[in-house]
C-alpha cells in the first residue's frame, strides 16, 4: 500500500518539480500550470507538507509574473497549511519542515509589500520566526506534557490518534479500486482534520501561553505596536534572493523599506565576519581597522541608512535573520540603544510576562575563545 501511494506521490512530485524548474529558469508563465496541478493533486491526496511546498512555489511564480494579489492569497494558503502542520510535529521534524518551507514567508512579505500592506508584511515576517527559537532550544515536547491542561492534552492526543488512523485508512483506499470506499475514507480524514483544527483552536482560546509553544502564531501588527514604548522602534528584516525587506514599526506608525538582495547583503556580511571558508561562522572580526570601518560603512548603507530612522527613535529593537544575526548592531547603530529580539511577537510576550524576583545568581566570567586565526 505504501509503495502504491508513494508511487502516485512521486508522479505528482515530478509535475511540481517541472514547475519549479521552469520557475528557476525564469519562465514564470510556464511554471504556473504545473504548480497549480501539483497543488490540486496533493490536496486530493491530503498531503499537507507537499501542498504547502508547491503553494509557496506557486506564490513565487505569480509574484514574479506580476500578480502580487494572487501571489499573496496563495502564500496565505501555504501559511495556513504550515500552521496546522508544524504544531503537530516533533522538534527536529518541525525545524526541518520550517526550513524547507521558509521561502513562503519572504514571498508572502514581498507580495504584501507590492500591495503596500504593512500588516501582512508583518504577519509573514513574524510567522517565519514564530516557533523557530523554541525549536532551536529544544524541549517543546517536554513543555507540552507539563504545561498543557489535562483536558486539552487528552483532547489533542485523541484528535492526533484519530487523524493518524483516518490517514492510514485513506491511503489504503487510495491504493485500491473501490471509489465509494475512497470517498468514505476521504470524508473520514476530512472529519479527523477538522477535529484537529478544533482542538488547536481550543488551545489557542483556553491556554494562550501554552499555545504559543505548540501552535505558534504571529501577533497582529497592532498588538506589537501596543507593546512598544515611546522612543522604541522595531525593525523586522526579511532576506529574499532578489529583494530583501525591512519593516520599521513604531508605536504610531509603520513603514516598508525595500533593500538589496540576499546575495549582496551576504557578501557584505562576509567581509566583516569571515569564517574559515568565507561563510558566516561567528563574531570574529578580521582585517585592519580601516577594513573594518569600510565593512561597517557598507553594511550601514545596505541595512541602516535606507530605514531613515528618526532621531526620536532612541531604542532600536532589531529582529534579524540569517547572517544578520551575527552582526554587531551596536556598531551599525551608534548613538542608539540596540537590543536584538527573535520577533515582535516574542517581544510582546516578554513584556506581557510577569517578571518575578530571582533568588539565584548569574555569574559571567571571561572565557578564553582561543587565539583568532
- Count of beta carbons in the 10 Å neighbourhood of residue 230: 11
**Mean pLDDT, rounded, for 214-238:** 87
**Mean pLDDT, rounded, for 72-85:** 85
The residue among 347, 354, 355, 116 whose CA lies nearest residue 232 is 347
Surface-to-core class of residue 181, CB atoms within 10 Å of its CB (0-12 exposed, 13-18 middle, 19+ buried): middle
pLDDT(107) > 90: yes
User: In this predicted structure, what is the pLDDT of residue 290?
Assistant: 47
pLDDT(346) > 90: no
Surface-to-core class of residue 361, CB atoms within 10 Å of its CB (0-12 exposed, 13-18 middle, 19+ buried): exposed
The residue among 23, 197, 67 whose CA lies nearest residue 38 is 23
User: In this predicted structure, what is the pLDDT of residue 161?
Assistant: 87
Q: What is the 3-state secondary structure (H, E, C) of the chain?
A: CHHHHHHHHHHHHHHHHHHHHHHHCCCHHHHHHHHHHHHHHHHHCCCHHHHHHHHHHHHHHHHHCCCHHHHHHHHHHHHHHHHHHHHCCCHHHHHHHHHHCCHHHHHHHHHHHHCCCHHHHHHHHHHHHCCHHHHHHCCHHHHHHHHCCHHHHHHHHHHHHHHHHHHHHHHHHHHCCCHHHHHHHHHHHHHHHHHHHHHHHHHHHHCHHHHHHHCCCCCCHHHHHHCCCCCEEEEEEECCCCCEEEEEEECCEEEEEEECCHHHHHHHHHHHCCCCCCCCCCCCCCCCHHHHHHHHHHHHHHHHHHHCCCCCCCEEEEECCHHHHHCCHHHHCCCCEEEECCCHHHHHHHHHCCCCCCCCCCCCCCCCCCCCC
List, for residues 165-201, the tens digit of each pLDDT value. 887 888 788 777 787 887 888 888 888 878 887 887 7
User: In this predicted structure, what is the pLDDT of residue 270?
Assistant: 86
**Mean pLDDT, rounded, for 359-365:** 80
Query: Which comes out higher in pLDDT, residue 130 or 276?
Result: 130
Choice among 72-81, 129-138, 212-221 with the minimum mean pLDDT = 129-138
CB-based contacts of 95: which residues, under 8 Å, 6+ apart?
132, 135, 136
User: In this predicted structure, what is the pLDDT of residue 198?
Assistant: 85
Amino acid at each position: 500500500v505504501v509503495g502504491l501511494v508513494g508511487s502516485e506521490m512521486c508522479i505528482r512530485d515530478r509535475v511540481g518539480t517541472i514547475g519549479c524548474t521552469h520557475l528557476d529558469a525564469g519562465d514564470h508563465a510556464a511554471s504556473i500550470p504545473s504548480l497549480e496541478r501539483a497543488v490540486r493533486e496533493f490536496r486530493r491526496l491530503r498531503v499537507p507538507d507537499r501542498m504547502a511546498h508547491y503553494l509557496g512555489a506557486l506564490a513565487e511564480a505569480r509574484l514574479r509574473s506580476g500578480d502580487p494579489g494572487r501571489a499573496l492569497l496563495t502564500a496565505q494558503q501555504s501559511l495556513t497549511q504550515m500552521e496546522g502542520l508544524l504544531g503537530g510535529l516533533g522538534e527536529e521534524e518541525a525545524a526541518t519542515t520550517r526550513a524547507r518551507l521558509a521561502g513562503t514567508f519572504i514571498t508572502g512579505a514581498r507580495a504584501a509589500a507590492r500591495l503596500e500592506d504593512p500588516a501582512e508584511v508583518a504577519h509573514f515576517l513574524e510567522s517565519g520566526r514564530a516557533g523557530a527559537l523554541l525549536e532551536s532550544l529544544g524541549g517543546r515536547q517536554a513543555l507540552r506534557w507539563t504545561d498543557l491542561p489535562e483536558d486539552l492534552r487528552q483532547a489533542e492526543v485523541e484528535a492526533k490518534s484519530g487523524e493518524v488512523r483516518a490517514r492510514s485508512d485513506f491511503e489504503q483506499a487510495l491504493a485500491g479500486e473501490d471509489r465509494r470506499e475512497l470517498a468514505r475514507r476521504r470524508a473520514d480524514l476530512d472529519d479527523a482534520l477538522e477535529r484537529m483544527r478544533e482542538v488547536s483552536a481550543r488551545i489557542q482560546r483556553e491556554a494562550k501561553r501554552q499555545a504559543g509553544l505548540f501552535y505558534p502564531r504571529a501577533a497582529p501588527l497592532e498588538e506589537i505596536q501596543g507593546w512598544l514604548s515611546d522612543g522604541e522602534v522595531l525593525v523586522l528584516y526579511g532576506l529574499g534572493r532578489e529583494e530583501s525587506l525591512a519593516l520599521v514599526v513604531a508605536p504610531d506608525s509603520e513603514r516598508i523599506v525595500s533593500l538589496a538582495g540576499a546575495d549582496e547583503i551576504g557578501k557584505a556580511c562576509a567581509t566583516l565576519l569571515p569564517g574559515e571558508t568565507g561563510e558566516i561562522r561567528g563574531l570574529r572580526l578580521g582585517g585592519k581597522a580601516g577594513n573594518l570601518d569600510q565593512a561597517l560603512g557598507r553594511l550601514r548603507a545596505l541595512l541602516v541608512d535606507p530605514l531613515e530612522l528618526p532621531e526620536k527613535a532612541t531604542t532600536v529593537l532589531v529582529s534579524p535573520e540569517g547572517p544578520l544575526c551575527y552582526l554587531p548592531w551596536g556598531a551599525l547603530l551608534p548613538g542608539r540603544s540596540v537590543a536584538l529580539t527573535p520577533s515582535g511577537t516574542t517581544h510582546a510576550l516578554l513584556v506581557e510576562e510577569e517578571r518575578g524576583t530571582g533568588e539565584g545568581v548569574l555569574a559571567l566570567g571571561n572565557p578564553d575563545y582561543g587565539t583568532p586565526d
